[in-house]
Structure formats: structure tokens, C-alpha cells
A and B are shown apart, each in its own frame.
Chain A
Amino acid sequence: MPGGPEPPQRRPLLSVRHLSKSFGPVRAVDDVSLDVYPQEIVGIVGDNAAGKSTFLRLLTGYHQPDGGEIFYRGRPVRISSPRTSRRELGIEMIYQDLSLAPDLRVWENVFLGEERRRLGIFLDAGAMREATADALAKLGAPISPSELFANLSGGEQQAVAIARALLFEREIIIMDEPTAAISLGKVQEVLRLVAELRARGHTVLIVSHRLEDILQVSDRIAVFSHGKILRVVPNEGLRIEDLFRMMFESA
């Protein structure tokens, strides 16, 4: 069950107001509003095509909204690109397919695009290897930073993706189906990492089809359907059946 206080602070870190996005005639995200507070885990559930992914992609700058506003720490922001989202707002998205490079080493993946340099142009491999090892150790995932990413198990790969978010001190970490592609035995390991992120002061948005995972880690749960948020409920005494009912009550 959730461990964190709910919600920890009253001032939202991220506020979304009346956000909309259409693709042709399809209203993928329809007038969505949501507040996300510091150091909480918000679970996002909904059937396929409920608008979850598009909503997250608006937050990470992959799509631009047709209407609505996003506030970060109370100030209006325009998330024009994935780079803005990562560098300026500190939002890291961990994709379902992880979007890491299998042929690169663990540390190369962690630092890709944000390399530490020597003399301005050379990779500072030693420092990056060390920092990667540190971040992985903090997560309790003993993975060699020099290992090829392709040689890791699904759970270990997820840990590397999370270590990246941790290392660059992203405030908000968005996880898309973090437990979908890994063996059942490793699911608890990944959920432990998610809770660890909150304990370290991060805010997490987590999307999953595995409702039991959402119930295990989330502080609050937002239920999506047909592009809208039907409701946002505190995760108190909820059962899977309750979530199911909410997801399909308007359908």
C-alpha cells in the first residue's frame, strides 16, 4: 500500500488545465485537467486508446496541445520539444520499449546526450562510469556500468532507465508500462525502484495495465476514458474491481 503522505504539499508541481489534442477527427485528449504534487506517485489507468499515451506525450513535448495550459510550479510553460521537457522542466519519460541503445554500454546509455567531457570535446568515461555505478548502487541494482545494455535482463534494463532519471535529478518521472515487458518475478523489483524514487524526492506518473501494480505504488489514481479524466481518486481502500468499474462506467 502507498507509503507517502497524500498529498505531501498543497502547492502543485505540475498543473494541467483543459488540455486538448486531436488527431484528425479523433479527440485523443479532451479537456483534461490534473494537478500533480511534489513527491507523490500518480497512477494513470484507462482502457486502450483512452488517451493516456497522448496525454503523457503532451507533457514530454512529443506532441503540441491544440488547447489548454500547463503550469510548472505555478508558472505557465510551453513544452515545445522533448529537450525542453527534459532539460528545462526536469521531466524524464521512461518509455515502454525503454528507448535505450542495445549496442551501447550502460554508462553510455545513461549519459547519452548529456555527456560529461574533458577538454571540452572528449568523453570523460571514467567519471561517467563512476556516476552510473553510484546511481545504480543507490537503487540497489548491482549492474556493471561497462556492461552492454543488450546483455541485461528486462528488470535490469528498467533499472538503468530509472538510474538515468535519478542521476540527472529529474523532478518528474513518467513511466509507461514499466512492468509490461519484464518477467513476473522481477515486477516487485521494479515497483520497489518506483517507491525508491519517491523516497528520494521525485514525483512519478505511472501508466500500467497491471492494475495491481498501480494499486501497490500509487498515492492517487487518475482514471482516463475516451480522452477525458473521469476522476482522480486517492488510493485508499481501493480494489481492482473498483478501478475496473471506474474505467468502464461511462463506456
Chain B
Amino acid sequence: MAAEQTKPRAARRPAAPRLPVREVLGAPGSVRRPIVFLAIAFGLSGLIAPSFLRLSNLNALLVSSSFLIVTAVGEALVVLMGMIDLGVQSVLASAGMMVAYLNIMVPLPAAAAVPVALLYGVAVGWLVGVLVTRGRIASFIVTLGTYWGLTGIALLFNRGDNINPYSVTPPRQFGFLGFAGHLGPVPTLIVLSVLVVLAGEVLVSMTPFGLWVKSVGSNEAAARVVGLSTDALKTIAFMASGGLAALAGIMITAWQDSIYPLTAQGYSLQAIAGVILGGIPFTGGRGTILGAAIGALIIGLIDDLIVLLGLPALYEYIFVAIVLVIAGLQTRGKGFVK
């Protein structure tokens, strides 16, 4: 229909030279868009700060972005269904505090502490899912609750203090430092985040589950009339989001060799920004996990660039804001926008 409407207009106007935006960027929701954005961002970054393109810097960028990327994959599933998870940063911090507490303060072996922390993230997601679907409370409200509430939980573990190997006497090493190690020449954190992104991308673009998730975001009634259990699908998305945020919390604890209860402040909104930047509209229905991961990487890249240029960190907020509005433009919805 859009084509029908634009034809007469095009006929009236003399043919103006037009940038081939569609041809380069692909359709809305296409993974080509974030890839083009990433290429532009790399090019610009290389021009502004030549040291950016050094392998060591790219390696550092991927490692420090891995936590946000993993978190953004879960967030992407939720946003694809037209919902939001504001609580991921608090799940991340509280799961990090939990794994550290269990591993060196209780102490439990890492082989028990890590699965418990992961299960905790999944359980939080389940609770959010139940409150959203059975409780019929908007996901924004429920996850605003986890956003605040789980920060409180994170603060409880060591009475507001951080947990590091010296929090106990005698000092005790974290048993899960392997997360921050290397697999061959590649940092494990990068391998993990790539695996999470690949698994998410395969799930969303190549399996029926992905189709169901997108159908709920696009038109929930359509999903219901064909007999899909939309409540179960939504709950699964929140469980994935919680579980991946918890994984990011464990990763960050291993990487820092310590964990602060207020770690990852701002991550929820950064993850959401990455998802939008990656081409998933706020209303859901279309887009890719790979795009969301690239979006998160671009957010990390802005952070990295600010450091390389020696600019005060406040510039990061301004850059992210500008990039986000641009991203919003290319995922804007049709019809009314609330």
C-alpha cells in the first residue's frame, strides 16, 4: 500500500537524485542495518583515533563489551515480543554478588555456585513472566520492581560491601576465574558471548520458536488464534533474559576478580539501547539477535572511543543519546506512537 501512495507523488516531482538508503540498509529489521552502522562506527573510530583499530584495542573492546552483549541477547528476546526488561542490570549485579558470596563466603565449590546463580537468574525471569502473564501487570512495571528490588538483594550479600578474594580470612580465590581465561589465543569471555549470540540468532531466525516470538510482538492475536501459548512464550523470554543477565554477572565477577553490589549501573538502558540500535523496534515483531548484539557492541565502542580520545566520560552519555535517536528513526513504527 505504501508503494501505491508514493507512486503519484514521485510522478509529480521531477526525479531528484536520491540516496539508495533502502538498497544499502535493507528492509527495517534487517541485520544489514546494524552491520552498516558498525562498519561506519569502525571507520569513523579509526579516523578519529588510529590506535582504535589495533588488535589489542579491538580485543579489549570485545572483552569489555561481552557482558553487555550477553545481556542484550536476552533483552532482545523480550523486546522482540513487544515487552521490556528493565531489571537485567540488577539481576546481573545480584547474581554476581550471589556467585561470589556462595563461592568464597559460604564457601561452595564453583561447580555448585555458578549453576545456582544461573538458576537464580532464570527463576527471577520466571517470576517476572508469571507476574506479566498471569498477573496481567505491564512488563515495564514488573521489571521496574526487579530493577529496584534486586539491587537491594545485591546489597544484602555483604552488607553493601563488595566481595573479593580478601573479603574472607584467609583470602580465598574465586573458583570460576576460568570465565576470564583464554581458550587458545581467544579470551573465554569473547568465546562465550559469540556462542550466546550464535545460539540466540539460530533460535530466532531458524526455528519455529523464533517465528512464534516475533508473531507475539507483531500481533499477539495472530499468535493466539493459531493456538500458540503466548503466556508461556513470554515467560520463556523473561527466563532467558534473567538467565543471560546472571551469566553476565558471573562473567563480570570473574573478569574483575571482585564484584560490587552496584556493578552494571545503567546496563539495563544500555542493553535496551543496543537492541534498538540493532534494528528491533520498541514494539517488537521483527529484527535479529545478531543485530542486537552488534548494537550492544556499538554502545561498547562509543565507551572505548571516549577512553582512547581521553575525553571525560560524560561525553559517552551524549554520544549514546545521539546514536540512540538515530537508531530510533530507523526502527520507527507506523501509525500512532505512544
Residues of A within 8 A of B (CB): 81-83, 86-87, 93, 95, 97, 99-104, 108-109, 112-115, 117, 121-123, 148, 150-153
Contacts and interface: CB of A to CB of B under 8 A. Distances in A.
B223 interface: yes
B153 to A, nearest CB: 36
10 contacts: A99-B219, A101-B218, A101-B219, A101-B223, A103-B219, A103-B285, A108-B211, A113-B227, A123-B206, A123-B211
The 7 closest A-B pairs by CB, nearest first: A113-B226, A103-B285, A83-B227, A101-B218, A103-B218, A103-B286, A115-B208
Name which of B207, B212, B219 has the most chain A CB atoms within 10 A of its CB: B219
A82 B218 contact: no
B1 interface: yes
B330 to A, nearest CB: 15
A103 B211 contact: no
A31 B212 CA distance: 38
B29 A100 contact: no
B33 to A, nearest CB: 15
Contacts of A99: 219, 221-222, 224-225
Contacts of B225: 82, 93, 95, 99
Contacts, number: 80
Contact of B218 (A93, A95, A104, A123): A104
Nearest to B285: A103
B249 interface: no
Contacts of B210: 123
A82 B211 CA distance: 19
A122 B217 contact: no
Nearest to A164: B226
Contacts of B208: 115, 117, 121, 123
B224 A101 contact: no
Given A99-B219, A153-B1, 20 more contacts: A81-B227, A82-B226, A86-B226, A93-B225, A99-B222, A100-B219, A101-B215, A102-B218, A102-B219, A103-B285, A104-B214, A109-B222, A112-B212, A113-B227, A121-B207, A121-B208, A148-B27, A150-B334, A152-B1, A153-B4
Contacts of B218: 101-104
B127 interface: no
A122 B206 contact: yes
A101 B222 contact: yes
Given A104-B211, A104-B214, A121-B207, A86 B221 contact: no
B314 interface: no
Nearest to A62: B225
Interface string B12-40: 00000000000000010100000000000
Contacts of A86: 226-227
Name which of B4, B214, B217, B218 has the most chain A CB atoms within 10 A of its CB: B218
A103 B217 contact: yes
Contact of B2 (A87, A108, A122, A151): A151
A123 to B, nearest CB: 6
B3 interface: yes
Contact of A122 (B3, B207, B219, B286): B207
Interface in B209-249: 210-212, 214-215, 217-219, 221-228
A215 B9 CA distance: 40
A27 to B, nearest CB: 26
Contacts of A82: 224-227
Nearest to B217: A103
Contact of B211 (A93, A95, A112, A121): A112
B206 A97 contact: no
B26 to A, nearest CB: 12
B8 to A, nearest CB: 16
A181 B228 CA distance: 26
Contacts of A87: 227
Contacts of B207: 121-123
A86 B29 CA distance: 31
Contact of B228 (A103, A113, A123): A113
A102 B223 CA distance: 12
Contacts of A104: 211, 214-215, 218, 285-286
Name which of A122, A123, A152 has the most chain B CB atoms within 10 A of its CB: A123
Nearest to A109: B222
Contacts of B219: 99-103
A216 B212 CA distance: 38
Given A97-B221, A121-B207, A153-B1, A114 B214 contact: no
Interface in B182-220: 206-208, 210-212, 214-215, 217-219
Name which of A103, A104, A150 has the most chain B CB atoms within 10 A of its CB: A103
A100 B223 CA distance: 8
A183 B85 CA distance: 41
Name which of B207, B210, B226 has the most chain A CB atoms within 10 A of its CB: B226
A101 B206 contact: no
